[in-house]
Chain A
Amino acid sequence: MPRPSTQNISWRRRFVNFLAIAAVTGATLVVMAPLIIILGTIIVRGIGGLHWSFFTQIPKPTGEIGGGMANAIAGSAMVLLVASAIGIPLGVGAGIFVAEYGRNFYGNIVRFTADVLNGIPSIVIGVTAYALVVVTQGHFSLLAGGVALGIMMIPTICRTTEEVLLMVPQSIREAALGLGIPQWRTTLSVVVRTATSGIVTSIMLAFARVAGETAPLMFTALGNQFWNLNLNQPTAALPLQIFTYSRSPYDDEIQLAWTGALVLIAMIIGTVVLVKFATSRGMMKGAR
């Protein structure tokens, strides 16, 4: 076969081709620019404050130099743990319901509710958690912060779980039903299992999104200058601490805020990568 000649391609076609490639490359750069600028600024400004003390010490009283965010890191971890304990089972459960049993009125209600919940500003969700937990308990608490973030995780997980479950081919469901496996077993052991990596991605997406939330924690977890891992006490959290320090008049506190932002982002990326790695290793070789 003769090789297709490039000489016959018209000048006009080459020019249009060049324009199209330039346009998509340009669009890619424009999309990537904010990410690179944000990450770059945070790394440059934050890396100077990165010492062991940041991870081991709690904040010093204002005016004293030094101190770290150990309590805020631990507090954030706890709040996210509580949020995950609430958001993951409810979100995944609702997603399974909508995808596998939800082609009806009730399914539409759940879908609609999730979409509306997704559009509610996070500060409103914070106020809701305040009314539900803080008012009932009579004080701010780690638990209230977890509840606020947990509620925020539900709609994201629900809708993405639904999407990945619907991507499992119908033939796989038929194979299981045809073997005399009951519907609920088919759903849990075959359909959900086939879509596990997608569901994990949806959870990570929601996790990463709420991990940086500040507003819903303001009237729930409140913040704390000292150690607290007690569910019923106000707790420090990285986003709150960053917010507080970023408005400080002192240079060293501003520096701590930048470093806090760097650590927060690193922790989120680290968690996502770790979970993806752990779940992908459990998969069969040769599986899609």
Chain B
Amino acid sequence: MEIGIHVHDLNAWFGKTQALYNIALEIPAKHTTAIIGPSGCGKSTFVRCLNRMHETVPQATVKGKVTIADLDVYGKGISPVWIRRRVGMVFQKPNPFPTMSIYDNVAAGLKLNGVRNRRQLDEVVERSLRSAALWEEVKDILKKKSGASLSGGQQQRLCIARALAVEPDVLLMDEPASALDPISTAKIEDLIFELKEKYTVVIVTHNMQQAARVAEYTAFFLMGNLVEFDKTETMFTKPSDKKTEDYITGRFG
């Protein structure tokens, strides 16, 4: 099977506090991988290391190796800006740009990187909104309404469309449905199911049922360590580590 992301000996710190310890992991391409674990275990920090968002926090540091396709993420002379164009990210709380229209929100990644071609932008906006299952709901108000005027679930799908518009290889999702109601959550989950046809998806989630529903592979993190990584089915039926079993059966966390 093709490997989408190689992680080798990854360590991360906030100031002097170490948040990740020697993470080694091979995330399969064009599949969905869920990252589960209790609060504060380093799930979010881990995905933020994959697109170099971790280093935007003051005093945060990283050591180790991450390779996406042939790209050495922490290689010398590699710009984080370039990495982030190939590795899209969807955050926990929907964060559309409040002063931009729906259209401009989706087009932002291209427009602010210098794409001016109207026809190209129109195409990308429509395709991205269709991929994010939002097109039908917003096609008549694209340039009339601000991104902030949509409902929470629509805003989150708008953020997914915005991330898809720059055509990344990888899509990182940091608890994308935790601020949404069950119906919006279901829509996002259906969407993730379709997205993995084209993208390598990594999703952080608190919700183990969600991991079971959307992901073929699951990684369990605990206190900054990777405890176990396997097929989701195996993880949830016969985990090889006692700690995984305890967490999944609800004995702690």
Q: A: which residues have CB within 8 A of B?
A: 103, 169, 171-172, 174-182, 185-186, 189-190, 193-194, 196, 283-288
Complex Cα spacing A168 to B15, Å: 25
Q: Are B95 and A171 in contact (CB under 8 A)?
A: yes
Bound complex: CA of A286 vs CA of B163, how far in Å?
Answer: 22
Question: Top 9 closest A-B pairs, CB basis?
Answer: A286-B149, A180-B85, A284-B146, A180-B84, A179-B109, A178-B89, A171-B95, A286-B146, A287-B146
Interface residues of B in 94-142 (CB under 8 A from A): 95-101, 108-109, 112-113
Specify which of B58, B95, B149 is in contact with A103 (CB 8 Å cutoff). Answer: B58
23 sample A-B contacts, Cβ–Cβ < 8 Å, listed by A number? A172-B95, A174-B91, A175-B95, A175-B96, A175-B159, A175-B162, A176-B108, A177-B56, A177-B84, A178-B84, A178-B91, A179-B84, A179-B112, A180-B82, A180-B83, A180-B86, A180-B113, A180-B166, A189-B112, A190-B112, A194-B98, A194-B99, A287-B98
A288: chain B residues at CB < 8 Å are 98, 148
Chain B: minimal CB distance from A165 (Å): 14
Chain A CB within 8 A of B53 CB? yes
What separation, in Å, do the CA atoms of A178 and B58 have in the docked complex? 16
Chain B interface (Cβ < 8 Å from any Cβ of A) = 51, 53, 56, 58, 81-86, 88-89, 91, 93, 95-101, 108-109, 112-113, 144-146, 148-149, 159, 162-163, 166
Residues of chain A contacted by B84 (CB below 8 angstroms): 177-180
Instruction: Look across to chain B and name the residue whose beta carbon is closest to the beta carbon of A288.
Output: B98
Which residue of B has the minimal Cβ distance to A179?
A: B109
Q: Are A171 and B93 in contact (CB under 8 A)?
A: yes
Contact at B98–A172, with CB atoms within 8 Å? yes
Residues of B within 8 A of A178 (CB): 51, 53, 84, 88-89, 91, 163
B151 CB to closest chain A CB (Å) equals 12
Report the minimum CB–CB distance from A11 to chain B (whole Å).
47
A283 touching B99, Cβ below 8 Å: yes
Of A169, A172, A178, A189, the most chain B CB neighbours within 10 A belong to A178
Q: Are B148 and A181 in contact (CB under 8 A)?
A: no
Cα A182 to Cα B148 in complex, Å, equals: 23
CA distance A171 to B56 in the complex (A): 12
Residues from chain B with a CB closer than 8 A to the CB of A175 are: 91, 95-97, 159, 162
CB distance from A27 to the nearest CB of B (A): 35
Expressed in whole angstroms, the Cα–Cα distance for A185 and B144 within the complex equals 24
Taking CB atoms, residues of chain A closer than 8 Å to B91 are 171, 174-175, 178
Q: Are A286 and B109 in contact (CB under 8 A)?
A: no
Do A193 and B99 touch across chains, with their CB atoms under 8 A apart?
yes
Whole-angstrom distance between the Cβ of A66 and the nearest chain B Cβ:
51
Given A285-B149, A288-B148, are A179 and B99 neighbors across the interface (CB < 8 Å)?
Answer: no
Bound CA span A175–B165, Å? 13
Asked if A180 and B109 make an inter-chain contact with CB atoms under 8 angstroms apart, the answer reads yes
In the assembled complex, the CB of B225 is this many whole angstroms from the nearest CB of chain A, namely: 26
State in angstroms the CA–CA spacing of A16 and B146 once bound together.
Answer: 46
Is there contact, CB below 8 Å, between B108 and A285? no
Q: In the bound complex, what is the Cα–Cα distance between A172 and B94 (angstroms)? A: 10
Chain A residue numbers with a CB within 8 Å of B166 are 179-180
Q: Given A189-B112, A286-B146 in contact, is the A174-B58 Cβ separation under 8 Å?
A: no
